[in-house]
Structure 1
């Protein structure tokens, strides 16, 4: 089978505003190296990491909330999720659903034709549990905002599902992030989990996956999105930032806060945790700089866990949940590849409930 030498791709040329994303009609089409596969992209999800990496928000020189725009000072040594430089130009996009159309050396040709979704975590094949040896698809190597992409064969997971490519492209980043957070916090059926930002991609995944574990879920979201959040299974839904959170919760006893929001409201979240409660975090879209009273932390016997690099079994588990119908996609909107800037604008403005997906 022959493939085109060039393809359509949205290419990020450097850190900065939306104009750093440039659409190309004739970008070189990749070919799979040994142990890699070539995917014809059916759809690719859009996530906070795409916005934050492009803008340079991960750098410690940036202390503002995620805005999606350019920052005045972006450190060049730590502007990515891993605290390291990034090489431009770069095709971003971690959440690919598509079809394997070619394989490199050492890969079974029988994989051609498989429908797959991507595991974004690029691990050392000889030491997959070492978090210091990980990269991320669409950051440390080109991703899926293009017609074709390559990835290591082990990072392309076969999936059997009646869901559309766009629906399947909602799962990889958002749901693996959420499952990683809940795993780190040890969430189980005896827990009551508070989820700020429950209308977002990760927030909605947290609601579903915590419910799957048998936990009680209290979601927080803007009132216009309460109906959509309720459809995900939340037991109780509160406004995005109640003036008196403890009062709003009534008799609810919060044992876990699963947070990707941070920002000025953060101390209120910590104050409602029960003694021995757990706080787990994988984002700070409302701002990374927060005020912590250490007395609350130690006198209440709280446990804080950061969660970024997931364990290798998370993605195979998600595939099983998808195939068994235990979780459902929260697809908010689709945009064409050449509309990626518009898609990011809508994503940043939180115009939608759930995930935004780009179609080549």
Structure 2
């Protein structure tokens, strides 16, 4: 079978012919049709998500068919501690396999694993109809889902993007879409005075979010696509009684991951949430997909047809 494998940290992946996996006890063999592309895949490629034995198959989520029917796979160490979904077939622990609901587009399902579970957890951290939510990086895979989930919770939601063109394309139900950089964030969202900021950008945006959030507000950082380091004015943080959280869905208990994935798929099946898919690319274009994510040239998810 074909698989995209990492042979050297920091180097592009190669498409190899490899033997099909043999599932062990409590594992399911899944013949994949699509795999999601996530920033964690790039971090793993560059050696920033733990050291794995090479060559290694990345990819932490995807969709395909098991003997029981169509399924979505995510979690259980896929693509991080064991061979992942950048391949035609994968052996998955049973706890990482969820039935694909009838009527759900497999391409959308391929983009909902890591992104959907993260967005579900972010909004589930106490977002209510009383909140005014600002989603930073709303054109990303997680951000675009977080906007929709926060709206479904009844909150007032503004979506932020750095690209003015994205602002005209983001039809996700947000009350407003603003296009600004970190320096312009406070002025751009002054009218909203958010009580909750979901920050998928990091870098200078986290410090800007501290200045922009309402007194007593909550900020959750779940990504660093704008930079892994930044400055925060601690005086502003404590004077405003701001609570700053970090979140990684990869650290969630397996049962919570499964519940979140099932919940997201149910909302997609009911037409209440849609996965924003930028493009479906062939497996052989995996390195081009990684470049586009690194350069932030995507709106929503990139999906590989495997």
**TM-score (norm: length of structure 1):** 0.79
Residue aligning to 1:173: 114
The answer for the alignment partner of 1:23 in structure 2 is 15
Query: Retained in 2: the 8 A contact 1:99–1:113?
Result: yes
The yes-or-no answer on 1:145 pairing with 2:78 is no
CA distance in structure 1 between the aligned counterparts of 2:265 and 2:104, rounded to whole angstroms: 12
Task: Give the conservation status (yes or no) of the 8 Å contact 1:35–1:152.
Answer: yes
Matched, 1:41 2:32: yes
Following superposition, the deviation at residue 42 of structure 1 comes to: 0.9
Q: Distance in 2 between matches of 1:150 and 1:287?
A: 34
Question: Following the alignment from structure 2 to structure 1, what is the Cα–Cα distance between the partners of residues 180 and 8?
Answer: 33
How many residues end up aligned between the 2 structures? 299
Task: Show the counterpart of 1:205.
Answer: 145
* Distance in 2 (alpha carbons) for counterparts of 1:220 and 1:240: 7
**Counterpart contact for 1:189–1:216, Cα < 8 Å:** yes
Partner of 1:114: 69
Q: How does 1:273-284 map to 2 (within 5 A)?
A: 273-284=213-224
Question: Can you give the 5+ residue segments of structure 2 that lack an aligned partner in the other structure?
Answer: none
Do 1:161 and 1:322's aligned partners in 2 also have CA atoms closer than 8 Å? no
CA deviation digits over 1:13-67, x for unaligned, max 9?
131032xx1111x2111011000000000100101111111112xxxxxxxxxxx
> Conserved in 2, the CA contact under 8 Å of 1:159 and 1:323?
no
Helix, strand or coil for the counterpart of 1:276? coil
Change (3 A) 1:292 1:350: closer
Q: Distance in 2 between matches of 1:36 and 1:208?
A: 33
Per-residue deviation, 1:241: 1.2
Q: Which has the higher helix share?
A: 2
Per-residue deviation, residues 140-165 of structure 1 (Å, max 9, x unmatched)? 11111110001111211002232332
Is 1:55 the counterpart of 2:1? The answer is no
Instruction: Provide the residue aligned with 1:237 in structure 2.
Output: 177
The structure with more radius of gyration: 1
Aligned-residue offset at 1:359: 0.5
Provide the residue aligned with 2:281 in structure 1: 335
Once the two structures are superposed, the pairs formed by residues 259-338 of structure 1 within 5 Å of their partners are: 259-308=199-248, 309-310=251-252, 311-312=256-257, 313-338=259-284
Shift of 1:319: 2.5
Report whether the alignment pairs 1:354 with 2:300: yes
Residues of 1 paired with 2:231 and 2:183: CA distance? Answer: 17
Equivalent of residue 7 in structure 2, options 3, 13, 21: 13
Q: Show the counterpart of 1:217.
A: 157
Return the offset for 1:215.
1.1
SS at match of 1:274: coil
Rounded to whole Å, the distance in 2 between the matches of 1:248 and 1:168 is: 34
Query: 5+ residue gaps in structure 1?
Result: 1-6, 57-78, 101-111, 123-135
Would you say the 8 A contact 1:242–1:248 is kept in 2?
no
1:61-120 Cα deviation digits (max 9, x unpaired): xxxxxxxxxxxxxxxxxx31xxx43222111111211100xxxxxxxxxxx232111132
Q: Per-residue CA shift, 1:287-343, capped at 9, x if unaligned? A: 111112222222211112211123342222222222222211211101111111122
Q: Residue 93 of structure 1 is aligned with which of 29, 34, 59?
A: 59
Following superposition of structure 1 onto structure 2, how do residues 126-145 of structure 1 map, counting pairs within 5 Å?
A: 136-145=77-86
Task: Say if 2:221 and 2:246, in contact at 8 Å, map to a contact too.
Answer: yes
Quote the RMSD (CA, aligned, Å). 1.6
Q: Say which is worse superposed, 155-164 or 42-51, in terms of deviation.
A: 155-164
TM-score by length of 2: 0.93
Given that residues 283 and 305 in structure 2 are in contact (C-alpha distance below 8 angstroms), is that contact kept between their aligned partners in structure 1? yes
CA, structure 1 residues 47+264, in 2 after alignment: closer, same or farther (shift >3 Å)?
Answer: same
SS for the counterpart of 1:187 is coil
